[in-house]
Structure 1
Amino acid sequence: MLIILAFFNWYLGTLSAEKKIIEMPNLITESITCLTQSATNNQKFTVFITDRPMAEKLLDTLCHTNAINRQYGLVEIRWSNNEQEISQYVGKGLADLALVKDNVMQAFATQTTHSYKIIAQYQDYAAYFVSLKEKPQLSKQYLWGKKLGLLDYPSSRSGHIVPKGLLNELGIAESDMQITYVKSHEALRDLLASGKVDLISTFWQEQDIERFSLNYKTPLETKVSGSKWYLKMATENTDLLCDVQAALHQLSNEIHSQYYSQLNLSQFNCSPVDVKSQVNQHEK
């Protein structure tokens, strides 16, 4: 009887555990989608970015463009800083539109193999070591043993490539410092402000003056290439190109970021005003 009762209790516990697993919501979201007006079209327009905050604004704008509504049934925006995912979506040409650094595209020769074209780009910027209490020095003696905050994705120039290059030049191994890796530039700033690291490697923005001193930043590289928007152009799909450019232009006016608001559009045979009005017509 005791054995039967124990088995019955185990069985009830198993059912309860399975129910909890089934009902547990997925809290990690890495993509968002929207349906276009072409309900019977099974073509998907895929966007790949590394910056999560711009996803929702961009999705709404893209889903109201004429060309995408005619040519696609679904728009999906995915975001990630994972190198493996970047190589999947960009290196294998899975993304129709991608926001990445040019060194990533060059590594995969994507402009040749997948017909990606640069349709817009953000301004070049400088990379800095930023400290909370003193001006960082670019010497082996100064940096040895310091607590350094870096980004954990190797494609970031200001947050990973440039500082790692300097450490290599100075003959400083990673084990010679206490390096903390985080997911974003904002997380780097939080690390520094809380005193958890001695210095971080990042770019400088106007609002940083509210938390850090201008006297306590040291340039590592004065001209770092800005991120670029690449559109896959297997055909001369000018309508799509012009509508996507208009959507990116609208995004730059709406997003609250000093860096992402400074967008330069590549010159094509587009009429930005007319295309912008086409985007707005869908919203009326």
Structure 2
Amino acid sequence: MWSSTLLLVLVFWILGRLDNEAQIYDIPNVIIDNKSCLTSSGNNEDEFLTFTSDRALAERLLTKLCTNDVINRQFGRVKVRWSHSDEDVIQYVGKGIADLALVKENLMHAFATQRTHGYDNVAQYQDYATYLFSLKEQPELTKQYLWGKRIGLLDYPSSRSGHIVPKKMLNELGIKDGDVEIVYANSHSALRELLSSGRVDLISSYWHERDSERFSQNYITEIDNNISGSKWYLKMETANTDLRCAVQKTLQTLAKETQSDYYKHLILMKPCMPHDSPVNEEVM
């Protein structure tokens, strides 16, 4: 009986593939958290690993790095990995595994990675504000208003806008854990789903240009307007100037091509001068 059932499953799977051969679907329950490519240096066993929380950004960066002349000369493989998990940040950045990482400055300071692993801040995004979002009214930053509310926060203690700032606000207002209902989500997009579906009364997040399609700016209240933007850190165990320049130019190209208001505002730290770049390196 089991053989017949497995055969039927296989037949239906093949038929489904034939009907949808031009489409690619993610397999349910299989988490894809990295992608990689081989460079032209086939015999080189060195891998250039990038870590970030944004999958779309990581995939675009992979495409750029895989065609970069300097990367192709110095490495045999390029790999990008994305994750929101603080445990993964500790694993890849805290232990110095990642060559290039987009993380919050407070985490880098906590792990002392700049001193222990030689990470250098090569670029960063602009500071931003944190807001309380509501669907039907403007939130108030008072104990009376927030009492009994269902509030959506990020389940990542390192997130400034989704965890640290709102938790600090609640503490300063004298609101204890039992005074509000905290509902945790694993991403900012998941927070927005909680709010739009009515499962929470409020969420804490940043304002994105696409938020105006679902939410009203009349119904957000600023909590903090000086949140440090994420920063790109490159592991510089040696004075690898060619690599630093190549990474900065690649990040600058991504910033110019992106549609995101946040990612387009990139600031290069100690930017490479023309004479720092390799003679044959294409200026991006």
Length-normalised TM-score, structure 2:
0.86
- In structure 1, the residue matched to 2:91 is 88
Provide the C-alpha distance between the structure 2 equivalents of 1:106 and 1:132, rounded to a whole number of angstroms: 37
* Structure 2 residue aligned with 1:55: 58
Shift of 1:51: 1.0
1:130 paired to 2:141: no
Structure 1 residue 157 corresponds to structure 2 residue 160: yes
Q: State the Cα RMSD in Å.
A: 2.6
1:274 Cα shift? 6.6
Contact 1:247 1:279 survives alignment (8 Å)? no
Aligned pairs, number: 267
90-99 or 136-145: which moved more?
136-145
Which residue of 214, 217, 220 maps to 1:217?
Answer: 220
Partner residue in 2 for 1:185: 188
- 2-structure distance, mates of 1:131, 1:201: 9
Over 3 Å counting, the alpha-carbon distance change for 1:180 and 1:239 in structure 2 is same
Q: Would the aligned equivalents of 1:126 and 1:203 in 2 still touch at CA under 8 Å?
A: yes
- The CA deviation at 1:279 is 5.0
Q: Tell which structure's C-alpha radius of gyration is larger.
A: 1
Kindly provide the CA deviation profile for residues 218-246 of structure 1, in whole angstroms up to 9, marking residues without a partner as x. Answer: 11111100000000000110000000111
* Aligned pair partner of 2:72 in 69, 75, 98: 69
Structure 1 position 201 matched with structure 2 position 231? no
* Counterpart secondary structure, 1:98: strand
| Cα separation, 2, equivalents of 1:71 and 1:268 | 21
Shift of 1:268: 3.5
User: Given residue 231 of structure 1, which amino acid in structure 2 is its aligned partner?
Assistant: L
Q: Is the 2:84–2:187 contact (alpha carbons within 8 Å) kept by the matching residues of 1?
A: no
TM-score, length-scaled by structure 1 = 0.86
SS of residue paired to 2:145: helix
Verify the 8 A CA contact 2:140 2:221 in the aligned structure 1.
yes
Native 8 Å contact 2:241 2:276 kept in 1: no
Say if 1:47 and 1:96, in contact at 8 Å, map to a contact too: yes
Task: Flag the 1:187–1:74 CA change in 2: closer, same or farther, 3 A.
Answer: same
| Correspondence list, 1:1-284, <5 A | 27-271=30-274, 278=281
Structure 1 residue runs of 5 or longer lacking an equivalent are: 1-8
Q: How far apart, in 1, do the equivalents of 2:63 and 2:104 lie?
A: 24
Tell me the secondary structure at the aligned position of residue 112 of structure 1. helix
Taking structure 1 as reference, are residues 192 and 268 closer, same or farther at Cα in structure 2, changes over 3 Å only? same
Distance 1:187 1:272 in 2: 46
1:107-129 superposed Cα distances (whole Å, 9 cap, x missing partner):
00111111101000000001111
| Distance across 2 between alignment mates of 1:75 and 1:25 | 26
Which amino acid letter does the alignment assign opposite residue 250 of structure 2?
A
- Post-superposition offset of 1:166: 1.1
Gaps of at least 5 residues in structure 2 are 14-26
Q: Distance in 2 between matches of 1:137 and 1:164?
A: 15
Give the conservation status (yes or no) of the 8 Å contact 1:61–1:279.
no
C-alpha displacement at 1:159, in angstroms?
A: 0.8
- Specify the SS of the correspondent of 2:170: helix
Query: CA offset at residue 187 of structure 1?
Result: 2.0
CA distance in structure 2 between the partners assigned to 1:34 and 1:147 by the alignment: 44
Q: Report the residue type matching 2:176 in the other structure.
A: A
SS of residue in 1 equivalent to 2:281: helix
